[in-house]
Structure 1
Amino acid sequence: MIATLTGVLAERDGESVVVQTDGGVGYAVTVPAGVAQRLPANGSRVSLYTELVVKEDGWALFGFDRAAERQVFQRLLGASGFGPKLALALLSALGPERTVRSILGRDLTALSSVGGIGKKKAERLVLELRDRFGDVVLEPQGVRPAGGDDAVRALTGLGYTPGAAEDAVRAALAGGAQEETPQLIRRALQQLVAKGGR
């Protein structure tokens, strides 16, 4: 199994990247939208936690910038009817923290908002996985000011994924943004535009 991958970010196309190792081999890796947005520019050195998925029709390598996100992906693959594409779609739309919170909190609305996951599949996901995240240590969310939730809602209303919006608001708050919602939205938008992603 390929557990980690370190090398130079040679190419990127949406959620697909190529990491060129020091040995000269380029690995095609599929990453969640949030990871794609956090990756540095092409030519930069990167390290990814990886999960190799072997199926009848081929092998696929999935990459994550945090071990905990890889753990969430692995748990999602353990649910009935959840393949790597659907697990990746869930992580891309909600991010790992919100995915786990939605499963533990039985938030069927959030889970079923992701394409390919209807209410029944969301219910099955909660039923099968709600007790399987005890050992997954995610970044602490911390206390977010009331304007933070409003800012995330505003950014998702503009078409950004919930995961990207959460990351941008968190970065804006870490960068010292004011707690007033309009200023927070402005700083978060600057983060998103600088990364060039949705």
Structure 2
Amino acid sequence: MIERLRGIIIAKQAPEVIIDVGGVGYEVRVPMTTIYQLPGVGEECILLTHFVVREDAQQLFGFVREIDRRLFRDLIKVNGVGPKLALAILSGMDTEQFAACLNRNDVDALVALPGVGKKTGERLLVEMRDKAGQWLSDVLPTQGVASPASDTKLDIRGEAEQALVALGYKPTEASRLISAVESEDVETSEGLIRAALQSAMR
């Protein structure tokens, strides 16, 4: 199992980053909450990883914080929640926000996430409520990070829409969400995605 990667970011296009580790490029899928914490292309980062092996694919998922990896691992144990949906959930809210939803029994906030229906939201509340305290009791310090590299203005919208589609939104919905927040003062695709996800949760 690949437990941890330390290397140079050579590409970053949400929800994937490629990290050069000793001359080998690892493609890692990460939630948007992790993308926000990563430094820019050309800089070093450390990712805690979870390796998923299926008959048709092998995928690495990465996280800056242990608490987020722990939530991801707990999520994929829930019936009906696979790695893709777990990634979408952690892109829409961080572990602390997810735990707060459980404590409030806020199924509406969960259903607002892409791919989470009413039954899945209710199942998450029932099966994971008792674990909220465990996640928050052992938060590891976040690695020092730098601001993400700037994107060109022409690429920002396209990258943001592609990322939302990869997270489970339909193309038309992704376009609508981006259009709704595009006038906001953002200079990176990550910033535009964050604004769109926050808007979707309102």
1:77 correspondence with 2:71: no
**Cα distance per residue 1:103-147 (max 9 Å; x no partner):** 2321101000011111111001111111123321348xxxxxxxx
| Equivalent-residue separation in structure 2 for 1:7 and 1:135 (angstroms) | 30
Give the C-alpha shift of residue 37 in structure 1: 2.2
| Equivalent-residue separation in structure 2 for 1:58 and 1:14 (angstroms) | 19
- Provide the TM-score with structure 1 as the length reference: 0.69
Matched length: 148
Identity of aligned residues (%): 38
Gaps of 5+ in 2: 141-163, 165-183, 194-202
Aligned to 1:5: 5
Aligned to 2:91: 92
Off by >2 Å, runs of 4+ in structure 1: 132-135, 192-197
| Equivalent-residue separation in structure 2 for 1:88 and 1:17 (angstroms) | 14
1:193 correspondence with 2:187: yes
Give the C-alpha shift of residue 196 in structure 1: 4.1
**Cα distance per residue 1:52-90 (max 9 Å; x no partner):** 112222111011111111111111111110000001101
| Equivalent-residue separation in structure 1 for 2:115 and 2:2 (angstroms) | 28
Q: Which amino acid aligns with 1:92?
A: S
Q: Which structure's relative contact order is higher, taking Cα pairs within 8 Å and 6+ residues apart?
A: 2
Contact 1:50–1:70 (8 Å) recurs in 2: yes
Contact 2:102–2:132 (8 Å) recurs in 1: no
Aligned to 2:123: 124
Aligned to 1:37: 36
What RMSD over aligned residues (CA atoms) do the two structures have, in Å? 2.0
| Equivalent-residue separation in structure 2 for 1:41 and 1:33 (angstroms) | 14
Contact 2:29–2:62 (8 Å) recurs in 1: yes
1:14 correspondence with 2:8: no
